[in-house]
Chain A
Amino acid sequence: MRISYKWLQNYIELKNSPKEVAEKLTSIGLEVESIEYLGKKYDGFVVGEVVEVSKHPNADRLSVCKVRLSQSTDAQQIVCGAPNVAAGQKVIVGLPGATIPKNQHDPDGKSFSLTKAKIRGIESNGMICSSYELGIGEDKNGIIVLDSSTPVGISLSQYLKLDDIVFELGITPNRPDCLSHIGVARDLAAVYGSSLKYPKVDFVEKKNFSINKIFTVKVENNDDCPRYTARVIENVTVKESPEWLKQFLSAVGLRPINNIVDITNFVMLEFGQPLHAFDFNNLAKNTIIVKRARVKEKFTTLDKKSHELNGTELMICDGDRSVAIGGVMGGMNSEISEATKTVLLESAFFSPTSVRKTAKRLGISTDASYRFERGTDPNMVDEASRRAAGLIAEIAGGEIVQGVIDVYPKVIEKIKIELRIFKVNDILGTNLSLEKINGLLQTLGIETQVKNNSLICSVPTYRPDIEQEIDLIEEVARLYGYDNIPNQTTVHSVFSQPSKIELHINEIRSWCESVGLHEVMTNSLLDEATALLYSTELIKVKNPLSVDLEVMRPMLLPTMLTAVLHNYNHGATSVRLFEIGSTFLAKHSEKTTRIQGISEYNKLGLILSGNAHDLTWYSKEREYDIFDLKGMVQSLLSKLGLDNIHLIYYDASSSLTEQTIGIEINGTYVGFLGQCSQKVLAQHKIERKVLYCELDLSVLIAVDEVRKFKEYSKFPSVKRDIAFVVKKNITAGDIETAIKESGGASVTSISLFDIFEGASIGEGNKSLAFSVTMQSREKTLTDSGIDALMKKIIASVVSTYGATLRSL
């Protein structure tokens, strides 16, 4: 909302500087987002009088001028290149330091700063400007010559009447009363303790017949249109508005159209009451009927756009057809034109909800609908109409027909709210007296009655936001001043429950950092085609920003792969990432569903891709493979104190990954790790191998953060190496399990240290060499005991897998 400082002063006497007023407005909740000094770009330009012109001694086309820049000082020497410069002219002079908006010698017309200069040896103390240079016209051929009566020494902004200052106010949706100059002035008057000056309405009804003789109004939907008024003004002349009106509208950002439309806009900006002017002669059967649209009715609004209506819209109709969408926009068929002779002036109160629904559905937002949606003052309707009619009579030469048609069957009264003094102080933490609070509310125009320790407040109808006690407490706080309310830095002691989740998530993050993973934050939305590769249970956004951001991510993988690709495209040779974030599926499950039909998961994603080592003086280049990620994940689970882990080795590859390993903890599936399939990589245009792991955090963080100490053996351990030759299809895991099971509790660790294939052990065979560590909790193991144990292990592996012992 743009507020003109100049116009504001018509309604309130302001003794403070614009900057101070702006600070005051901000302090009462009408935030001044910016202050615009309209004439600022013309700082350093003044009106001067050319007193003498002579030829430049060194340049044919230049003149040396003496220009008087004020009544009191001597004339200044200025070199000028314009052919039309002559003594006696009133001209616009840019002084050193001023910025010329457009350089006419620059192809793009860029601005430049003026300095004192010598031009071909002659000193020049400024520049006489063309209209092009000032950005107020296109003429480059000569300087602007002003009317001879223009006073010397006034600033250009004064000359152009650009001396106004405009506040850009951020008005919150609860304050429709401040979408007008009078509304803003009223709040300022309250806080400054000064009085509000309403504009004087000059109002003479010239015609000696009543409006009721020539016009009727019928309202069919009183709920949507509780009040409708109409006035008629005859014999108007539609033309350009006077200078003051055009300047006001331009300053606050509206384009002047014609005097009638401009007046309705002016009164809206003055009172906050939107008005509409119809061409009376285009209204069939001299009547207005306010009713709902017909289903599938077509209607063309003032902006030449055609709309199809669904029957819920409240329309303003004449005897035959619709002429406006109530409270939103007028129609083409009844708009004011230069031919208009008689005006029907509508001033009404429409229900906020009804206007909002219609404006939303049709995708129209106008200055009128914006105000009606937020709530206008039903009791300001006629006052605004009188103000506008008076101005039309004055400016457009119209004659006002006697009387007004005012359909207002149920008068909207001020509401009464009890404000308890103790409640004010309880909420604010203050100690304000009844008298103090009463005084503050009265400055806002709220009438009060004292009742015991309460105030019974009558709230003016221009404040629809004040509905209950807390709304009045806010008004007290606002006017008392937030700064005057104490800052209490001790609060009641409430102990919060420490969060287990936080501890675990923090531990996981720390671990990820310590093993070299970078945390990423990726998009939660992606395109449907890519997402379908990952799941068919997708959640789609109804109104996406673009098709690339249409569905919620079903896994962290696709959006993390975007980050992988970005890094490869920017020269990375190794990409190690982790992300903690939400994923979404369209399915219902007791554990993960909080919104019907939707499951939301908290996931940890890990990615390894590219070089595990670059080539260095101490190591060869090596690419990450599945065992890097497998080891990493096992180390994470062990770090988190999870031990009942079961890995599931999938034979077949899924569409997403090959070499896939599923992970179960205490019998619950928590995720998987694997190498991304070619199909996935191709979709993301990634050429290098990518290893991915996704784990469900809700399981990882469910573990108890307090770990119990497990006693370890005090006796020495013994290590024995052993190698088996087996068929290739026997896995290392099989042998390891067999060793563990046959060795029993004494085998404390098994480590595979060599895999060998070759002719010496026979085609189709491989050799697996393990180092087995044995230890007892009760005693030192004897050589004979160990030998017996090893024999048992060997016998078991040999008989179960047809293995043969290989001598090391």
Chain B
Amino acid sequence: MLTEKIKSLDSEISAIAAISTTHEDIEKYRIEFLARKGKIASLYDDLKSVPNDQKPMVGQQINRLKKKAEEVYETLKSKLDSSTAKKELVDLTLPGRMLLHGTRHPITRTIEQMKSIFVSMGFGIAYGPEIEDDYHNFEALNFAPHHPARDMQDTFFIKDDVVLRTHTTPVQIRVMKSQKPPIRVIMPGRVYRNEAVSARSNYFFHQVDGLYVNENVTFAELKGTLITFAKNFYGSNIKYRFRPSYFPFTEPSLEMDITCFLCSGKGCRICKQTGWLEILGAGMVHPNVFRNCSYDPEKVSGFAFGMGVDRISLLRYGVDDIRTFFENDIRFLNQF
């Protein structure tokens, strides 16, 4: 008897569902079937009079019906919402809420790129003071007190024997005096030269020095190390050359040039028509330098190199005035 009623309600729901389209229709349906005193709720009252052995079966039928009625209601409602609800229009062209972002200085970027290449080759990193004494900056590096080699680096003096370091090479002395071989480090930092400021040169700039000391270190290894660096830093297809040169603290000494990447070696203003750009100086650590650090040049050998960061950065980023780096204009900094 109750089962019959359930069946008839089921078809009634289906029929009404097919014709209910408005809010009123759906509300009427909800009240008729799903409200607290609606037709489905009354079925549960009827269930009480069903014999106990049939209760579970009939109960399940009522549950299924209730579930169907609810689903129909949700379906009808969502159909109506999607067809008639007023959408709030969002203007997606409004500017987004931007997050601030800062930048690293381009000189820092160059140094970091150099560091990462050398670190991958097993170099550590060391630092030293910018105000140095004559001993570390010159004397221990085999610059005799009255040698014209001192003219190679115009020097700022704090006292007669205290200077603003003219290169990062004095850190080599500090490292050798505080460690024992084998040593493999690079030494980045700021250096000073008493030179007029212009588009191509500034009174302070940045260098990265390198040092490798061990038993049986050779000039051939130095060349191999520099070529590996240059190919990583400037690109694997660069052309390079080594020229004999002179630094008091290395011997034999060399300078390394690469084909000017502005003119591809044809000759231009930047490479002074030579087609070559000098990128670094290097050489085998001079035995006098080893002796000054109490190392025995008969037992160890080593190589050292040094490169300027600022001029390389000019070419790297296409900046034409070195002073731009230190004006710190946000419009400039923002591009890196």
Contact = CB atoms under 8 A, between A and B. Distances in A.
Interface of A: 26-29, 31, 33-34, 172-175, 352-353, 356-357, 373-374, 426-430, 468-471, 473-474, 477-478, 482-483, 485-499, 501-502, 509, 512-525, 539-545, 549, 552, 563, 566-567, 570, 572, 575-578, 581-582, 584, 594-595, 598, 600, 616-618
B97 to A, nearest CB: 6
B185 A544 contact: no
A206 to B, nearest CB: 41
A494 B182 contact: yes
Given A496-B185, A514-B102, A517-B102, 11 more contacts: A429-B221, A474-B253, A478-B244, A485-B220, A491-B212, A498-B124, A502-B125, A516-B100, A521-B325, A567-B330, A595-B133
Interface stretch (B30-38, B53-61, B222-230): B222-230
9 contacts: A352-B146, A374-B148, A427-B218, A488-B220, A491-B225, A525-B203, A542-B156, A545-B197, A582-B129
Nearest to A518: B333
B129 A473 contact: no
A512 to B, nearest CB: 6
Interface string B117-147: 0010111110111111100000000000011
Please classify the interface of chain B as helix (H, G, I), strand (E, B), loop, or mixed, using the class held by over half of its residues: mixed
Given A494-B122, A496-B122, A498-B124, A473 B212 contact: no
Given A477-B219, A482-B254, A541-B156, A518 B224 contact: no
Nearest to A519: B105
B228 A543 contact: no
Contacts of A172: 245-246
A518 B334 CA distance: 7
Contact of A430 (B119, B162, B220): B220
B216 interface: yes
B41 interface: no
Given A173-B151, A515-B100, A543 B122 contact: no
Contacts of A598: 131, 158, 162
Contacts of B306: none
Interface string B149-187: 101100011110010100000000000000000111100
A490 B227 CA distance: 12
A491 B226 CA distance: 12
Given A468-B287, A514-B101, A566 B221 contact: no
Contacts of B192: 524
A348 B13 CA distance: 127
Contacts of B12: none
Contacts of B102: 512-519, 576, 578
Contact of B158 (A471, A539, A618): A539
A474 B185 contact: no
By Cβ-Cβ distance, the 5 closest A-B pairs, closest first, are A516-B100, A429-B220, A429-B218, A496-B124, A29-B244
B242 A483 contact: yes
Nearest to B195: A545
A356 B333 contact: no
A541 B124 CA distance: 32
Contacts of B204: 523-525
B101 A427 contact: no
B326 A427 contact: no
Interface residues on B, range: 35 or more
B196 interface: yes
A523 B326 contact: yes
Interface string B185-227: 1000010101011000001100000001011111111011101
Contacts of B301: 426-427
Contact of A429 (B100, B108, B219, B287): B219
Most buried by B among A27, A172, A374, A570: A172
Contacts of A469: 287
Contacts of B4: none
B326 A600 contact: no
Contacts of B330: 518, 567, 572, 575
Contacts of A485: 219-220, 223
Contact of B146 (A28, A353, A515): A353
Nearest to A552: B131
B241 to A, nearest CB: 8
Interface in B273-314: 273-274, 284, 286-287, 301
Nearest to A517: B102
B327 interface: yes
A567 B328 contact: yes
A520 B162 CA distance: 28
B243 interface: yes
B328 A27 contact: no
A26 B275 CA distance: 13
A514 B104 CA distance: 10
B75 to A, nearest CB: 39
B10 interface: no
Contacts of B147: 173, 356
B72 interface: no
B213 to A, nearest CB: 9
Contacts of B241: 27, 483
Given A552-B131, A598-B131, A541 B164 contact: yes
B328 A509 contact: no
Given A474-B253, A518-B333, A523-B326, A428 B203 contact: no
A494 B146 CA distance: 38
A376 B211 CA distance: 34
Given A468-B287, A485-B220, A572-B330, A173 B148 contact: yes
Nearest to A498: B124
B107 to A, nearest CB: 6
Contacts of B235: none
B269 interface: no
A545 B203 contact: yes
B329 interface: yes
A467 B328 CA distance: 49
Most buried by A among B102, B107, B162, B220: B102
Nearest to A423: B298
B336 to A, nearest CB: 9
Nearest to A544: B156
B94 interface: yes
A699 B287 CA distance: 38
A524 B130 contact: yes
A520 B328 contact: yes
A474 B244 contact: yes
Contacts of B219: 427-429, 477, 485
Contacts of B274: 33-34
A429 to B, nearest CB: 3
A474 B95 CA distance: 66
Contacts of A584: 130-131
B49 interface: no
A501 B189 CA distance: 14
Contacts of A581: 190
B11 interface: no
Most buried by B among A34, A474, A497: A474
Given A173-B149, A520-B333, A523-B204, A28 B244 contact: yes
B331 interface: yes
A584 B133 CA distance: 15
Given A521-B105, A582-B190, A566 B326 contact: no
Contacts of B212: 491, 494
